[in-house]
């Protein structure tokens, strides 16, 4: 099965990440993500969830709303845990948020922005589907994936979101929620505060390209 991989155009890495994650160009369009921005803030002239120039640069709220349209959720991963605690059989994939250089043509400017990257399993192998890559990068098997994620998360300016089906975190009366963590899930105040702080930070500074 060929690996679907959209490459970077303008500031549309969120769009490419979603389509690469779901392995189809039909998953989302720029127009659909723009509509999500409008739905999130319908009564503002300058929408805070995208670039004011209309080039993309969508924030974390748009990513989360888009995933919900596919009955999925993005769960923030606590970097204090080892990635090997993730049950890979219970997830759809990963979205990584990383810093990125700001370039004007061939000139790198002294500014920092954010970049979204999709990671998922295809035909038994895990792939880095970064839209800035020339082609998909095969990470390897489960152990190689865990090593890759652990290396990425050693940097304080990188964040990992685990993408799961909504039933895996919400559940319902007929079907109890699945566990995507191998260890017991214990919600403590420090983890909850960390997630709130991260969302606030990405809302303020998390526009991406």
What 3-state DSSP class applies to 152? Answer: helix
Dist. CA 193–CA 197, nearest whole Å:
6
Query: Per DSSP, which regions of the chain are E strands?
Result: 72-76, 93-104, 107-122, 125-128, 137-140, 159-165
Task: Tell me, yes or no, if 49 is annotated catalytic.
Answer: no
The closest of 31, 4, 63 to 203, measured between CA atoms, is 63
Of 34, 37, 59, 130, the catalytic one is 130
Of 5, 13, 49, 75, the catalytic one is 13
Task: Tell me, yes or no, if 13 is annotated catalytic.
Answer: yes
Q: How many Cα atoms sit within 13 Å of 96 on the Cβ side? A: 26
Task: Tell me, yes or no, if 37 is annotated catalytic.
Answer: no
Of 5, 16, 49, 115, the catalytic one is 115
> Any idea what the Cα angle at residue 156 is, between residues 163 and 4, rounded to 5°?
35
Active site residues: 13, 115, 130
């Amino acid at each position: 099965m060929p690996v679907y991989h959209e490459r970077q155009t303008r500031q549309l890495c969120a769009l490419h990440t979603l389509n690469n994650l779901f392995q189809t160009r039909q998953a989302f369009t720029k127009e659909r993500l723009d509509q999500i921005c409008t739905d999130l803030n319908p009564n503002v002239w300058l929408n805070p969830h995208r670039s004011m120039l209309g080039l993309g640069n969508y924030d974390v709220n748009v990513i989360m709303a888009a995933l919900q349209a596919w009955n999925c959720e993005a769960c923030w991963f606590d970097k204090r845990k080892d990635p090997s605690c993730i049950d890979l059989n219970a997830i759809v994939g990963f979205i990584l948020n990383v810093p990125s250089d700001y370039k004007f043509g061939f000139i790198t400017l002294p500014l920092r922005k954010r970049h979204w990257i999709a990671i998922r399993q295809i035909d038994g192998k895990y792939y880095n589907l970064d839209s800035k890559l020339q082609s998909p990068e095969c990470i390897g098997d489960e152990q190689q994936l865990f090593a890759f994620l652990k290396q990425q998360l050693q940097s304080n300016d990188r964040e990992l979101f685990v993408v799961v089906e909504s039933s895996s975190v919400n559940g319902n009366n007929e079907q109890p929620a699945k566990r995507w963590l191998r260890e017991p899930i214990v919600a403590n105040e420090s983890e909850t505060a960390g997630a709130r702080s991260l969302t606030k930070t990405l809302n303020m500074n998390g526009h991406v390209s």
